[in-house]
Chain A
Protein backbone atom coordinates (compact mmCIF):
# COMPACT_ATOMS: atom_id res chain seq x y z
CA UNK A 1 0.00 0.00 0.00
CA UNK A 2 1.52 3.25 -1.10
CA UNK A 3 -0.74 5.54 0.85
CA UNK A 4 -0.26 5.57 4.54
CA UNK A 5 -2.13 7.54 7.13
CA UNK A 6 1.00 7.39 9.23
CA UNK A 7 3.00 9.50 6.83
CA UNK A 8 4.00 12.16 9.28
CA UNK A 9 4.81 14.78 6.73
CA UNK A 10 1.63 14.59 4.75
CA UNK A 11 0.59 18.11 4.06
CA UNK A 12 -2.82 18.90 5.51
CA UNK A 13 -5.03 19.27 2.49
CA UNK A 14 -6.87 22.19 3.90
CA UNK A 15 -3.56 23.99 3.87
CA UNK A 16 -3.18 24.07 0.16
CA UNK A 17 -5.12 25.60 -2.69
CA UNK A 18 -4.20 27.35 -5.87
CA UNK A 19 -2.77 30.12 -3.90
CA UNK A 20 -1.78 28.82 -0.56
CA UNK A 21 -4.75 29.28 1.75
CA UNK A 22 -2.40 28.65 4.65
CA UNK A 23 -0.24 31.60 3.69
CA UNK A 24 -2.90 34.00 2.59
CA UNK A 25 -5.71 33.39 5.08
CA UNK A 26 -5.99 33.12 8.85
CA UNK A 27 -7.62 29.72 9.26
CA UNK A 28 -8.72 30.10 12.86
CA UNK A 29 -12.07 31.32 14.07
CA UNK A 30 -13.91 32.78 11.06
CA UNK A 31 -15.06 36.35 10.95
CA UNK A 32 -18.55 37.24 9.80
CA UNK A 33 -19.74 39.80 7.29
CA UNK A 34 -23.26 40.63 6.17
CA UNK A 35 -24.06 42.46 2.99
CA UNK A 36 -25.47 42.48 -0.50
CA UNK A 37 -23.87 40.40 -3.21
CA UNK A 38 -22.71 42.58 -6.10
CA UNK A 39 -20.78 40.13 -8.25
CA UNK A 40 -20.65 36.35 -8.59
CA UNK A 41 -17.80 34.71 -10.49
CA UNK A 42 -17.75 30.91 -10.52
CA UNK A 43 -14.44 30.35 -12.30
CA UNK A 44 -10.93 28.94 -12.19
CA UNK A 45 -8.66 29.03 -10.36
CA UNK A 46 -10.88 30.67 -7.77
CA UNK A 47 -14.53 31.40 -7.52
CA UNK A 48 -15.21 34.81 -6.09
CA UNK A 49 -17.99 36.94 -4.71
CA UNK A 50 -17.94 40.69 -4.27
CA UNK A 51 -20.11 41.70 -1.35
CA UNK A 52 -21.07 45.26 -0.34
CA UNK A 53 -20.93 45.40 3.44
CA UNK A 54 -22.30 48.44 5.32
CA UNK A 55 -20.40 49.63 8.36
CA UNK A 56 -22.14 50.86 11.50
CA UNK A 57 -22.10 54.42 10.15
CA UNK A 58 -23.50 53.33 6.80
CA UNK A 59 -20.25 53.42 4.88
CA UNK A 60 -20.15 50.63 2.29
CA UNK A 61 -17.04 48.49 1.99
CA UNK A 62 -16.61 45.94 -0.76
CA UNK A 63 -15.31 42.55 0.32
CA UNK A 64 -13.75 40.02 -2.03
CA UNK A 65 -14.67 36.48 -0.98
CA UNK A 66 -12.72 33.60 -2.49
CA UNK A 67 -13.85 30.02 -2.82
CA UNK A 68 -12.66 26.85 -4.51
CA UNK A 69 -12.10 26.55 -8.23
CA UNK A 70 -15.21 26.07 -10.32
CA UNK A 71 -14.26 22.57 -11.45
CA UNK A 72 -13.95 21.21 -7.94
CA UNK A 73 -17.22 22.82 -6.89
CA UNK A 74 -18.87 21.07 -9.85
CA UNK A 75 -17.32 17.73 -8.81
CA UNK A 76 -18.53 18.26 -5.26
CA UNK A 77 -22.04 18.92 -6.51
CA UNK A 78 -22.20 22.49 -5.27
CA UNK A 79 -25.05 24.52 -6.74
CA UNK A 80 -23.22 27.27 -8.61
CA UNK A 81 -26.33 29.47 -8.33
CA UNK A 82 -26.33 29.16 -4.57
CA UNK A 83 -25.61 32.85 -4.15
CA UNK A 84 -26.81 35.36 -6.72
CA UNK A 85 -26.24 39.07 -7.29
CA UNK A 86 -28.67 41.07 -5.16
CA UNK A 87 -28.90 38.43 -2.43
CA UNK A 88 -28.38 39.58 1.14
CA UNK A 89 -26.14 37.04 2.83
CA UNK A 90 -24.10 36.52 5.96
CA UNK A 91 -20.75 34.95 5.28
CA UNK A 92 -18.28 33.33 7.63
CA UNK A 93 -14.78 33.86 6.27
CA UNK A 94 -11.15 33.25 7.03
CA UNK A 95 -9.72 36.74 6.66
CA UNK A 96 -6.72 37.47 4.49
CA UNK A 97 -3.47 37.84 6.38
CA UNK A 98 -2.20 40.28 3.81
CA UNK A 99 -4.99 42.28 2.30
CA UNK A 100 -7.89 44.18 3.84
CA UNK A 101 -11.46 43.15 3.05
CA UNK A 102 -10.52 39.82 1.50
CA UNK A 103 -11.62 36.47 2.92
CA UNK A 104 -12.01 32.78 2.14
CA UNK A 105 -15.48 31.20 2.13
CA UNK A 106 -16.34 28.96 5.07
CA UNK A 107 -20.11 29.18 5.50
CA UNK A 108 -23.05 31.22 4.25
CA UNK A 109 -26.42 32.12 5.64
CA UNK A 110 -28.31 32.45 2.39
CA UNK A 111 -31.02 34.88 1.40
CA UNK A 112 -33.77 32.49 2.55
CA UNK A 113 -32.12 31.95 5.93
CA UNK A 114 -30.77 28.50 5.17
CA UNK A 115 -27.20 27.66 6.04
CA UNK A 116 -24.61 26.36 3.63
CA UNK A 117 -21.27 25.00 4.79
CA UNK A 118 -18.56 23.96 2.41
CA UNK A 119 -17.55 20.31 2.76
CA UNK A 120 -14.31 21.07 1.02
CA UNK A 121 -12.03 18.90 -1.02
CA UNK A 122 -11.00 16.51 1.75
CA UNK A 123 -14.40 14.91 2.15
CA UNK A 124 -14.68 14.45 -1.61
CA UNK A 125 -11.19 12.94 -1.77
CA UNK A 126 -11.89 10.52 1.05
CA UNK A 127 -15.05 9.32 -0.67
CA UNK A 128 -13.06 8.69 -3.84
CA UNK A 129 -10.24 6.96 -2.00
CA UNK A 130 -12.63 4.72 -0.10
CA UNK A 131 -14.88 4.03 -3.11
CA UNK A 132 -17.87 5.40 -1.27
CA UNK A 133 -20.48 7.75 -2.60
CA UNK A 134 -19.67 11.37 -1.95
CA UNK A 135 -22.30 12.89 0.31
CA UNK A 136 -21.91 16.40 1.53
CA UNK A 137 -24.37 16.47 4.40
CA UNK A 138 -23.30 19.83 5.71
CA UNK A 139 -22.88 21.20 2.25
CA UNK A 140 -26.39 20.37 1.25
CA UNK A 141 -28.47 23.45 1.48
CA UNK A 142 -30.50 22.82 4.56
CA UNK A 143 -33.65 24.86 4.91
CA UNK A 144 -34.49 23.09 8.16
CA UNK A 145 -31.38 24.50 9.73
CA UNK A 146 -31.79 28.22 9.84
CA UNK A 147 -29.72 30.89 11.41
CA UNK A 148 -31.04 32.87 14.31
CA UNK A 149 -32.99 35.87 13.06
Chain B
Protein backbone atom coordinates (compact mmCIF):
# COMPACT_ATOMS: atom_id res chain seq x y z
CA UNK B 1 0.00 0.00 0.00
CA UNK B 2 2.76 2.36 0.99
CA UNK B 3 4.60 1.44 -2.17
CA UNK B 4 1.50 2.14 -4.22
CA UNK B 5 1.06 5.42 -2.47
CA UNK B 6 4.71 6.27 -3.01
CA UNK B 7 4.36 5.49 -6.71
CA UNK B 8 0.84 6.76 -7.05
CA UNK B 9 1.28 10.20 -5.58
CA UNK B 10 4.19 11.20 -7.82
CA UNK B 11 2.38 9.70 -10.83
CA UNK B 12 -0.78 11.59 -9.98
CA UNK B 13 1.24 14.73 -9.48
CA UNK B 14 3.01 14.17 -12.79
CA UNK B 15 -0.30 13.63 -14.56
CA UNK B 16 -1.72 16.75 -12.98
CA UNK B 17 1.32 18.69 -14.09
CA UNK B 18 1.01 17.28 -17.58
CA UNK B 19 -2.66 18.22 -17.73
CA UNK B 20 -1.85 21.66 -16.38
CA UNK B 21 0.87 22.07 -18.97
CA UNK B 22 -1.49 20.91 -21.69
CA UNK B 23 -4.19 23.28 -20.46
CA UNK B 24 -1.69 26.10 -20.26
CA UNK B 25 -0.83 25.52 -23.91
CA UNK B 26 2.84 24.61 -23.53
CA UNK B 27 2.33 22.03 -26.24
CA UNK B 28 2.22 23.60 -29.65
CA UNK B 29 -1.27 24.60 -30.63
CA UNK B 30 -2.00 22.28 -33.49
CA UNK B 31 -5.76 22.37 -33.14
CA UNK B 32 -7.52 23.42 -36.28
CA UNK B 33 -7.77 22.74 -39.98
CA UNK B 34 -4.68 22.92 -42.15
CA UNK B 35 -4.30 23.37 -45.89
CA UNK B 36 -1.37 22.02 -47.86
CA UNK B 37 1.12 24.70 -48.88
CA UNK B 38 4.09 22.83 -50.25
CA UNK B 39 6.37 19.84 -49.92
CA UNK B 40 9.97 18.88 -50.05
CA UNK B 41 10.91 15.49 -51.39
CA UNK B 42 14.44 14.15 -51.82
CA UNK B 43 15.96 14.19 -55.28
CA UNK B 44 17.89 11.07 -54.34
CA UNK B 45 15.98 8.94 -51.84
CA UNK B 46 18.90 6.51 -51.51
CA UNK B 47 17.25 3.40 -52.87
CA UNK B 48 18.75 -0.04 -52.40
CA UNK B 49 18.87 -2.28 -55.51
CA UNK B 50 15.60 -3.83 -54.36
CA UNK B 51 14.12 -0.37 -53.95
CA UNK B 52 15.28 0.68 -57.40
CA UNK B 53 13.76 -2.44 -58.92
CA UNK B 54 10.46 -1.83 -57.15
CA UNK B 55 10.47 1.81 -58.32
CA UNK B 56 11.01 0.74 -61.90
CA UNK B 57 8.08 -1.67 -61.66
CA UNK B 58 5.69 1.06 -60.53
CA UNK B 59 2.69 1.56 -62.81
CA UNK B 60 0.60 4.57 -61.79
CA UNK B 61 -2.50 3.17 -63.41
CA UNK B 62 -2.18 -0.14 -61.57
CA UNK B 63 -0.23 0.42 -58.38
CA UNK B 64 -1.74 3.63 -57.02
CA UNK B 65 -4.27 2.33 -54.49
CA UNK B 66 -5.94 5.72 -54.38
CA UNK B 67 -7.54 4.56 -57.61
CA UNK B 68 -9.49 1.94 -55.66
CA UNK B 69 -10.36 4.36 -52.85
CA UNK B 70 -7.73 2.85 -50.56
CA UNK B 71 -5.51 5.64 -49.17
CA UNK B 72 -1.87 4.94 -49.95
CA UNK B 73 -0.05 6.30 -46.87
CA UNK B 74 -0.16 9.31 -44.55
CA UNK B 75 2.83 10.67 -46.44
CA UNK B 76 0.89 10.47 -49.66
CA UNK B 77 -2.25 11.99 -48.17
CA UNK B 78 -0.30 14.97 -46.87
CA UNK B 79 0.97 15.57 -50.39
CA UNK B 80 -2.55 15.69 -51.79
CA UNK B 81 -3.03 19.41 -52.26
CA UNK B 82 -6.63 20.43 -51.91
CA UNK B 83 -8.32 18.39 -49.16
CA UNK B 84 -7.22 19.79 -45.77
CA UNK B 85 -6.40 17.97 -42.55
CA UNK B 86 -7.84 18.60 -39.10
CA UNK B 87 -5.91 18.13 -35.86
CA UNK B 88 -7.52 17.90 -32.44
CA UNK B 89 -5.30 17.55 -29.38
CA UNK B 90 -6.48 15.84 -26.22
CA UNK B 91 -4.69 15.00 -23.00
CA UNK B 92 -4.39 11.31 -23.86
CA UNK B 93 -4.55 11.26 -27.67
CA UNK B 94 -4.41 13.26 -30.83
CA UNK B 95 -7.03 12.99 -33.54
CA UNK B 96 -5.94 13.68 -37.09
CA UNK B 97 -8.76 13.78 -39.59
CA UNK B 98 -7.72 13.82 -43.21
CA UNK B 99 -10.49 14.97 -45.53
CA UNK B 100 -8.98 12.92 -48.32
CA UNK B 101 -10.64 9.49 -48.27
CA UNK B 102 -12.32 10.25 -44.92
CA UNK B 103 -9.29 8.98 -43.00
CA UNK B 104 -9.88 9.39 -39.25
CA UNK B 105 -6.72 8.67 -37.30
CA UNK B 106 -6.30 8.26 -33.57
CA UNK B 107 -2.83 8.57 -32.07
CA UNK B 108 -2.56 7.53 -28.41
CA UNK B 109 -0.01 9.37 -26.30
CA UNK B 110 0.82 6.45 -24.04
CA UNK B 111 1.25 2.70 -24.29
CA UNK B 112 3.32 0.44 -26.49
CA UNK B 113 3.77 1.06 -30.20
CA UNK B 114 3.79 -2.59 -31.26
CA UNK B 115 0.50 -3.31 -29.51
CA UNK B 116 -1.19 0.02 -30.19
CA UNK B 117 -4.51 -0.24 -32.02
CA UNK B 118 -4.52 0.36 -35.75
CA UNK B 119 -4.26 4.10 -36.07
CA UNK B 120 -7.12 4.17 -38.60
CA UNK B 121 -9.68 1.57 -37.64
CA UNK B 122 -11.01 1.29 -41.20
CA UNK B 123 -7.56 0.99 -42.77
CA UNK B 124 -5.30 -1.47 -40.92
CA UNK B 125 -2.78 -1.25 -43.76
CA UNK B 126 -1.78 2.20 -42.46
CA UNK B 127 -0.25 0.67 -39.37
CA UNK B 128 -0.07 1.44 -35.68
CA UNK B 129 0.95 4.79 -34.25
CA UNK B 130 2.06 6.18 -30.93
CA UNK B 131 2.58 9.86 -30.16
CA UNK B 132 4.55 11.90 -27.65
CA UNK B 133 5.52 15.49 -27.13
CA UNK B 134 9.13 16.59 -27.24
CA UNK B 135 8.83 20.05 -25.77
CA UNK B 136 6.25 21.66 -28.03
CA UNK B 137 6.69 19.25 -30.92
CA UNK B 138 4.27 16.39 -31.47
CA UNK B 139 6.20 13.29 -32.55
CA UNK B 140 4.32 10.31 -33.98
CA UNK B 141 5.93 6.93 -34.66
CA UNK B 142 4.24 4.42 -36.96
CA UNK B 143 4.97 0.75 -37.67
CA UNK B 144 3.21 -2.34 -39.03
CA UNK B 145 2.30 -0.83 -42.37
CA UNK B 146 1.43 -2.92 -45.40
CA UNK B 147 4.21 -3.45 -47.92
CA UNK B 148 3.65 -1.64 -51.19
CA UNK B 149 4.15 1.90 -52.37
CA UNK B 150 4.80 4.83 -50.08
CA UNK B 151 4.37 7.66 -52.53
CA UNK B 152 2.32 8.06 -55.70
CA UNK B 153 2.44 11.86 -55.91
CA UNK B 154 5.64 13.63 -54.87
CA UNK B 155 8.06 10.92 -55.98
CA UNK B 156 5.72 8.40 -57.55
CA UNK B 157 6.72 4.80 -57.06
CA UNK B 158 8.79 5.03 -53.89
CA UNK B 159 8.28 1.69 -52.17
CA UNK B 160 7.82 0.69 -48.56
CA UNK B 161 8.34 -2.64 -46.82
CA UNK B 162 6.37 -4.03 -43.92
CA UNK B 163 9.43 -3.34 -41.75
CA UNK B 164 9.32 0.40 -42.33
CA UNK B 165 9.21 2.69 -39.31
CA UNK B 166 8.08 6.26 -39.80
CA UNK B 167 8.51 9.28 -37.57
CA UNK B 168 6.39 12.38 -38.11
CA UNK B 169 7.31 15.62 -36.33
CA UNK B 170 4.59 18.28 -36.22
CA UNK B 171 6.27 21.66 -35.79
CA UNK B 172 3.88 24.60 -35.52
CA UNK B 173 4.61 28.31 -35.75
CA UNK B 174 1.39 30.22 -35.26
CA UNK B 175 -0.77 29.58 -38.29
CA UNK B 176 1.98 27.70 -40.09
CA UNK B 177 2.75 24.03 -39.68
CA UNK B 178 5.57 21.88 -40.91
CA UNK B 179 5.41 18.10 -40.74
CA UNK B 180 8.82 16.47 -41.11
CA UNK B 181 8.53 12.80 -42.01
CA UNK B 182 11.45 10.39 -41.72
CA UNK B 183 11.08 6.89 -43.14
CA UNK B 184 13.40 4.18 -41.87
CA UNK B 185 13.30 1.17 -44.17
CA UNK B 186 16.52 -0.75 -44.73
CA UNK B 187 14.84 -3.08 -47.23
CA UNK B 188 14.41 -0.33 -49.80
CA UNK B 189 16.55 2.60 -48.59
CA UNK B 190 20.22 2.96 -47.74
CA UNK B 191 19.57 5.88 -45.39
CA UNK B 192 16.66 7.53 -43.57
CA UNK B 193 14.46 9.10 -46.21
CA UNK B 194 13.11 12.50 -45.19
CA UNK B 195 10.20 14.42 -46.66
CA UNK B 196 8.45 17.46 -45.31
CA UNK B 197 5.07 19.06 -45.80
CA UNK B 198 3.97 22.59 -45.09
CA UNK B 199 0.50 23.79 -44.20
CA UNK B 200 -1.39 26.97 -43.39
CA UNK B 201 -4.22 27.15 -40.87
CA UNK B 202 -7.49 27.74 -42.65
CA UNK B 203 -10.92 28.74 -41.43
CA UNK B 204 -12.95 25.91 -42.86
CA UNK B 205 -14.40 22.59 -41.82
CA UNK B 206 -13.48 19.15 -42.98
CA UNK B 207 -15.99 17.93 -45.53
CA UNK B 208 -17.13 14.42 -46.26
CA UNK B 209 -15.09 12.89 -49.06
CA UNK B 210 -17.16 9.90 -50.08
CA UNK B 211 -14.65 8.46 -52.51
CA UNK B 212 -16.28 6.97 -55.59
CA UNK B 213 -14.57 4.18 -57.50
CA UNK B 214 -15.83 5.66 -60.75
CA UNK B 215 -14.20 8.98 -59.92
CA UNK B 216 -11.01 7.38 -58.72
CA UNK B 217 -9.99 5.02 -61.44
CA UNK B 218 -9.47 4.65 -65.10
CA UNK B 219 -10.36 0.99 -65.35
CA UNK B 220 -12.90 1.40 -68.13
CA UNK B 221 -10.51 3.45 -70.22
CA UNK B 222 -7.61 1.21 -69.38
CA UNK B 223 -9.52 -1.88 -70.43
CA UNK B 224 -10.57 -0.18 -73.65
CA UNK B 225 -7.00 0.85 -74.37
CA UNK B 226 -5.88 -2.73 -73.86
CA UNK B 227 -8.66 -4.08 -76.06
CA UNK B 228 -10.55 -5.90 -73.31
A-to-B contact residues, CB < 8 Å: 1-3, 7, 9-11, 13, 16-20, 23-24, 41, 43-48, 64, 68-69, 71-72, 74-75, 98-102, 121, 125, 128-129
Contacts and interface: CB of A to CB of B under 8 A. Distances in A.
Interface of B: 35-41, 43, 60-61, 64, 66-67, 79-83, 99-101, 152-154, 156, 171, 173, 176-178, 198, 200, 202, 204, 207, 209-212, 214-216, 218, 221-222, 225
B38 A10 contact: yes
Contacts of B64: 19
Contact of A71 (B79, B173, B207): B207
Contacts of A16: 39, 79-81, 153-154
Contact of A125 (B154, B176, B200): B200
A37 B101 CA distance: 28
A74 B210 CA distance: 15
A45 B66 contact: yes
Contact of B212 (A44, A100, A128): A44
B222 to A, nearest CB: 7
A99 B225 contact: yes
B218 A13 contact: no
14 contacts: A2-B171, A2-B178, A2-B198, A10-B38, A10-B39, A11-B41, A19-B60, A43-B214, A64-B221, A99-B225, A100-B225, A125-B37, A128-B35, A128-B200
Contact of B176 (A3, A10, A44): A3
Given A7-B40, A20-B60, A71 B215 contact: no
A19 B68 CA distance: 11
A18 B80 CA distance: 6
Contacts of A43: 210, 212, 214-215
B67 to A, nearest CB: 7
Nearest to A41: B215
Contacts of B177: 2
A20 B153 contact: yes
Contacts of B209: 44-45, 71
